């Protein structure tokens, strides 16, 4: 295979794999739910969580704070630029997700 054809083949195959993965996931979930409904079983997990906005907002805030701290660390220390940015982004992004989890648990406990 020539080197020009490889990206032309790989990119559509990648997107097809992603689309097919979502298709089969939702199809299997739908079959499982239909079987549960036919048996008269109600599952609480059918309800969607409305905490997605909170989770995403705290994650993105964590990324922004991580970028800021990465820039500060990179300019004040001898640490490599990539290490400073990536470590701080993942650290503060994870802290944002942890904060989201704690807030969700407190909300569930109060209900």
The tens place of each residue's pLDDT in the chain, 111 residues long, gives 578 888 888 889 999 999 999 999 999 989 988 888 888 887 766 666 677 889 999 999 999 999 999 999 999 998 888 899 999 999 999 999 999 999 999 988 987
Q: Are residues 41 and 85 in the same domain?
A: no
Can you list the positions of beta strands (E) in the chain? none
Q: Are 66 and 91 within 8 A, CB to CB?
A: yes
DSSP 46: G
Closest C-alpha to 70, from 87, 55, 53:
87
What is the predicted pLDDT for the residue at 46? 65
What is the predicted pLDDT for the residue at 3? 80
Q: Are 99 and 60 within 8 A, CB to CB?
A: no
What is the predicted pLDDT for the residue at 45? 65
Note down the domain range covering 67. Answer: 48-110
Q: Are residues 43 and 58 in the same domain?
A: no
Q: Are residues 6 and 57 in the same domain?
A: no
Report d(CA 41, CA 71) in Å as an integer.
53
Q: Are residues 1 and 40 in the same domain?
A: yes
What's the predicted TM-score (pTM) here?
A: 0.59
- Counting the structural domains of the chain, the total is 2
Q: Are residues 101 and 52 in the same domain?
A: yes
Report d(CA 14, CA 10) in Å as an integer.
6
CB atoms within 10 A of CB 35: 10
What is the predicted pLDDT for the residue at 5? 84
Q: Are residues 29 and 55 in the same domain?
A: no
């Amino acid at each position: 295979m020539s080197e020009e054809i490889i990206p032309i083949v790989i990119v559509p195959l990648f997107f097809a794999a992603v689309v097919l993965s979502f298709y089969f996931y939702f199809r299997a979930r739908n079959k499982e739910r239909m079987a549960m409904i036919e048996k008269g079983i109600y599952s609480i997990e059918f309800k969607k969580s409305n905490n997605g906005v909170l989770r995403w907002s705290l994650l993105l805030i964590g990324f922004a704070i991580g970028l800021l701290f990465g820039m500060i660390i990179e300019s004040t220390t001898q640490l490599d630029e990539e290490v400073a940015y990536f470590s701080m982004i993942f650290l503060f992004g994870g802290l944002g997700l942890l904060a989201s989890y704690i807030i969700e648990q407190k909300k569930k406990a109060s209900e």
